[in-house]
């Protein structure tokens, strides 16, 4: 399941992150790429050890935890490995798949990937996130503060930036529910029961769907 979430950050949070990154220490992005991705990765990333990097990561993680759509669709167990990337003119990230396990010795699974756009699309040319589908490629270039969420198992790439600077935060999630099809079933059930509750309150139908939702989550959660 691939979907976008608008305004994941408040204007104040977005401004704080962008202002922090303007004075940030960036390093070659190859330092965090898998052995095969290094050959196609050409960007810069905020040093993980920078004094303010931890605060920026926590800000993004907090925004995701409070977002109802993200919580319902992804069932996050661990939001991890958040990176802040910078693409200047001529930079890109070629076709690749994300590592299955991350976090050094923690061995956190990457079930879901996300890209949080931090630059307004009017301030740079190129830089689209391309995700491969069975019926072709699709390009994403969202407003600043908005996010695209997609399976970590997909092949994807970032097109060359031809003008301006593209700032983004990327990260990964280990879900409570490993299987993407099971997550989608739970998301559909949760969406349906919330719709019923909003229209009719706590009905018999709401209770039955809630029972099925809880029992499936109990069965599938790891």
Kindly state whether residues 151 and 203 are assigned to the same domain: no
Residue 22 to residue 194: CA distance in whole angstroms = 41
75 Ramachandran zone, left/alpha/beta (phi>0; psi -120 to 50): left
What integer pLDDT is reported at residue 110 of this predicted model? 97
Kindly state whether residues 88 and 151 are assigned to the same domain: yes
The string of DSSP letters for 55-85 reads: HHHHHHHHHHHT-HHHHHHH-EEEEEEEEEE
Query: The domain that contains 92 carries what CATH number?
Result: 2.60.120.620
Residue 25 to residue 145: CA distance in whole angstroms = 22
Kindly state whether residues 31 and 65 are assigned to the same domain: yes
Kindly state whether residues 40 and 142 are assigned to the same domain: yes
- Which residues are known binding-site members? 96, 98, 156, 166
What integer pLDDT is reported at residue 34 of this predicted model? 75
Range of the domain at 135: 3-175
Kindly state whether residues 98 and 193 are assigned to the same domain: no
Tokens of 204: 């018999």
Answer whether 171's CB lies under 8 Å from 114's CB: yes
Q: Is 215 exposed, middle or buried (0-12, 13-18, 19+ CB in 10 A)?
A: exposed
Kindly state whether residues 107 and 11 are assigned to the same domain: yes
Kindly state whether residues 98 and 157 are assigned to the same domain: yes
- Which residues are known binding-site members for Fe cation? 96, 98, 156
Three-state secondary-structure class, residue 221: coil
Tens of pLDDT along the chain (222 residues) come to 999 999 999 999 999 999 999 888 899 988 887 788 889 999 999 988 877 899 999 999 999 999 999 999 999 999 999 999 999 999 999 999 999 999 877 899 999 999 999 999 999 999 999 999 988 999 999 999 999 999 999 999 999 999 999 999 999 999 999 999 999 999 999 999 999 999 999 999 999 999 999 999 999 999
Kindly state whether residues 103 and 200 are assigned to the same domain: no
What integer pLDDT is reported at residue 134 of this predicted model? 86
For residue 191, give Cα distances in angstroms to 68, 178, 206: 11, 20, 11
Three-state secondary-structure class, residue 51: coil
The CA-based angle 42-47-52, given to 5 degrees, is 140
- Which residues are known binding-site members for 2-oxoglutarate? 166
Measured from the Cβ of residue 200, the count of other Cβ atoms closer than 10 Å reads 11
What integer pLDDT is reported at residue 137 of this predicted model? 95
SS3 content of the chain, % helix, strand, coil (to 5): 35, 35, 30
What integer pLDDT is reported at residue 218 of this predicted model? 98
Residue 222 to residue 148: CA distance in whole angstroms = 25
Residues 6+ apart with CB under 8 A from 101: 107, 108, 109, 110
Which of 43, 113, 49 shows the shortest CA–CA distance to 85? 43
């Amino acid at each position: 399941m691939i979907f976008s979430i608008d305004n994941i950050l408040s204007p104040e949070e977005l401004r704080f992150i962008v202002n922090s990154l303007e004075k940030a220490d960036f390093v070659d992005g190859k330092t965090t790429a898998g052995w095969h991705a290094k050959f196609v990765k050409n960007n810069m990333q905020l040093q993980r050890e920078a004094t303010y990097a931890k605060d920026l990561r926590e800000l993004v993680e907090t925004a995701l935890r409070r977002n109802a759509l993200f919580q319902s669709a992804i069932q996050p167990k661990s939001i991890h490995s958040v990176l802040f990337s910078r693409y200047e003119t001529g930079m890109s990230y070629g076709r690749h798949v994300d590592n299955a396990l991350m976090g050094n010795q923690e061995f956190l699974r990457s079930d879901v990937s996300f890209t949080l756009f931090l630059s307004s699309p009017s301030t740079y040319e190129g830089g689209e996130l391309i995700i491969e589908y069975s019926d072709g490629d699709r390009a994403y270039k969202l407003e600043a503060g908005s996010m695209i969420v997609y399976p970590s198992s997909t092949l994807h790439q970032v097109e060359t930036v031809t003008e301006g600077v593209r700032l983004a935060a990327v990260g990964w999630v280990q879900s409570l529910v490993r299987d993407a099809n099971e997550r989608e079933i739970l998301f559909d059930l949760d969406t349906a029961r919330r719709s019923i509750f909003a229209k009719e309150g706590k009905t018999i139908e709401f209770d039955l769907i809630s029972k099925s939702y809880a029992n499936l989550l109990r069965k599938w959660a790891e």
